[in-house]
Each structure stands twice: as C-alpha cells, then as structure tokens.
C-alpha cells in the first residue's frame, strides 16, 4: 500500500476448538503455516505452553511478525498479524488462522502502521 509501512491486523477469535488452542504443536504449526501461505519469510519461531492450559507464541518473519495468546477455557485466541511491504497478504494469514482454530466467530480490525503523507515522503526522498 502506498504511503504506509505496514498493516497490523488484530484478530479476536471466539468459539474456537479448545483442544486446538491448548495444543502447542497445532497452534505453532497453524501460525507458521499462516505466515508461509501469506507469502512471508519465516525467520524465528518461539512458543510456550502454559500450565494448566494455554499457549503463547510468535512467528518472526522478515516482514514483521505473527503472535498469539490462547485461552482454551474460553475458546478464545488473541492474534496479531503484522506485515510490512507489498509482498505479503496479511488477510490470507488471518483466514488461515481463523479456520485452523475453528473459530465460529472472529472480529478483525486493521491498524495501518507508519503512515506518511506526500509532504513527508518528498522531504526524505533523495534528489
């Protein structure tokens, strides 16, 4: 997108499958595959399983990151998909995650990051 550095999609995933949300392997694979399907280049992956339940993790991509925190007891997951540049489609990742967690309801909101107006771009452009 012109004049922005990135898109940050926030997902409120409700009525998800609690067993999926409590399975670190499934959550990690879902998040990593979402990044790959969206066209991102995965750099690092770090996930943690909580006791008695829940998973948190991050997939660091060259274009920024995807992160998740799950509450299986509520069937809820809070997910961030933050991508920069024009080569990655964050909505592909959003759809993949929603489907992977079997969310019956998901609310998304988008924050455009690094918004620049034409005046600022003209000031920093060489020549």
Catalytic-role residue among 8, 84, 109, 125: 84
Catalytic-role residue among 16, 64, 65, 119: 64
Nearest-angstrom CA–CA distance, 8 and 35: 13
> Which helix (H) or strand (E) element contains residue 18?
helix 18-21
To the query of whether residue 69 is one of the catalytic residues in this protein, the response is yes
SS3 per-residue string spanning 91-120: HHHHHHHHHHCCCCEEEEEEEEECCCCHHH
To the query of whether residue 16 is one of the catalytic residues in this protein, the response is no
Closest CA to 98 of 1, 15, 41: 15
Catalytic-role residue among 69, 109, 119, 125: 69
To the query of whether residue 65 is one of the catalytic residues in this protein, the response is no
Residues with active-site annotation: 64, 69, 84
């Amino acid at each position: 997108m012109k004049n922005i550095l990135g898109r940050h999609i926030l997902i409120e995933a409700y009525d998800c499958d609690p067993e999926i949300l409590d399975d670190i392997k499934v959550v990690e694979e879902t998040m990593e595959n979402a990044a790959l399907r969206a066209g991102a280049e995965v750099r690092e992956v770090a996930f943690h399983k909580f006791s008695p339940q829940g998973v948190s993790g991050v997939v660091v991509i060259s274009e920024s990151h995807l992160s998740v925190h799950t509450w299986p007891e509520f069937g809820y997951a809070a997910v961030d998909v933050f991508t920069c540049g024009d080569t990655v489609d964050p909505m592909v990742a959003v759809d993949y995650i929603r489907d992977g967690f079997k969310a019956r309801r998901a609310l998304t909101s988008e924050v455009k990051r690094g918004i620049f107006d034409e005046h600022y771009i003209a000031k920093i452009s060489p020549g």
